[in-house]
Amino acid sequence: MSVRPKKDATRGLRLNMMIDLINKKTPYGGVTVKELMDKFEVSERQIHRDLNTIVNEMRVPLIKHERVIEGSKRTCYCLEVGYLPSLSPEKATVLFLSLLQQKGSALTGHLNELKDALVSTLFKYHYDPKELAVEKLQNRIHLVEETLVEPERVGEMFSKLVQALKDCHRVKIRYFVTHSQRETERVVEPYGLICKRQNWYLVGKCLTRNAIRVFRVDQIRDVFPYTSEKYQYPADFNLKKYMAHSWGVINDGEVCRVRLKFNHRVAHRVKNLIYHPSQVLEEELPDGSIIVSFMVCGIKEMKTWIVQWGDNVEVLEPGWLREDMCKLAKGIWQVYRDAN
């Protein structure tokens, strides 16, 4: 003989299902009382009692408004806090940790607001905060990341660039050029944004140079939107294709094959990571070392990555890159020799 669930348990389940339905319908204008009646097979009076419980006892704010549906005015209910995606506690936790990872980046300006919104809505209304242990996680996870000295200022520049990108209007930027140590003014048509190790870069047509250039966002001193100066986004430009061969953020147009030999001490690390889409493991040698090749451009950026491996890597091809790395190694040696 089956045991029927208790009345309170049945109603509790219905209330949670109602919140989920209202949540899903919020982006589309909300849900009507009739829809709730049909879905849960209860009377109109019971639906109103349930809605009252959701607002006054469960503390889930709802908005009631009128909509014209099939020529008739209908009362609809939406979540006041906006649309909340359907997430499991595990996925909600991953989302929370992803927000933490952006601390100190150009996105940090709205980070606290987003975290508060996530905790006060998703966690509060859908899950038991103790189950997610948000504070405990925050205290037990340490993120080792580069952080900006002025994340709020950079975040403000970033927001202006995103708006210009969305609206297709030009911007004038004051930009600090590293190699010349000078500040310049450029008028740019934004084509896209690139993120590399939490640092953001603007890709756009520089009208001063009449060519596509890449600008590091934290080196932009100020952004002046020209909202009245629209530009036509080039139909033949594709950011992903433009950056496809770039090792980092530089596309100098000179794609070449680079072959590197990693010794046995680091071979397992290299085999476990994809550093570039073109990466190919060509050979595993008897001594445990491996030979890996890449088809890339922007080799200047790749050189700094090669240096990080120290004596665990050797450039096999091309010959000119091998010579460049030798000169670079000698230059580093010279610095320390002179210091002694």
In whole numbers, what is the pLDDT of the chain averaged over residues?
A: 86
In a domain, 160, yes or no: yes
At residue 1, the pLDDT reads 39
In a domain, 39, yes or no: yes
Taking a C-beta distance cutoff of 8 angstroms, is the pair 293, 283 a contact?
Answer: no
pLDDT over 80 at 276, yes or no: yes
Q: How far apart are CA 254 and CA 280, in angstroms?
A: 19
CATH number of the domain residue 15 falls in: 1.10.10.10
In a domain, 285, yes or no: yes
In a domain, 226, yes or no: yes
pLDDT over 60 at 17, yes or no: yes
State the pLDDT confidence band at 266, using cuts at 50, 70 and 90.
very high
Start-end of H helices in the chain = 7-25, 33-40, 44-56, 89-101, 111-117, 129-132, 134-140, 151-167, 239-243, 267-272, 299-308, 319-339
What is the number of domains present in the chain? 4
Sign, CA torsion 6/8/11/17: negative
Name which of 255, 258, 253, 251 is nearest 325 in CA terms: 258
- Using one digit for the tens of pLDDT, what is the confidence trace for 144-186? 778 888 888 898 899 999 999 999 999 999 999 988 899 999 9
State the pLDDT confidence band at 246, using cuts at 50, 70 and 90.
very high
Q: How far apart are CA 166 and CA 103, in angstroms?
A: 25
At residue 306, the pLDDT reads 97
Of 9-18, 40-49, 139-148, 298-307, the poorest mean pLDDT is in 139-148
At residue 308, the pLDDT reads 94
Question: What tokens appear for 105 in the block?
Answer: 């980046």
Question: What tokens appear for 284 in the block?
Answer: 């595993």
CATH number of the domain residue 168 falls in: 2.30.30.100
Residue 136, amino acid: K
* Structural domain boundaries enclosing 324: 256-338
Residue 269, amino acid: R
At residue 123, the pLDDT reads 57
176 and 234 in a single domain? The answer is: yes
Listed residues 243, 276, 302: the one ending a domain: 243
237 and 162 in a single domain? The answer is: yes
In a domain, 2, yes or no: no
β-pairing verdict for 290-296 and 280-284: antiparallel
**Residue entry with tokens 């408004």:** 65
127: number of CA atoms within 13 Å, CB side?
19
The pTM assigned to this predicted structure is 0.71
273 and 308 in a single domain? The answer is: yes
In a domain, 292, yes or no: yes
What is the maximal distance between C-alpha atoms in the chain? 90
In a domain, 249, yes or no: no
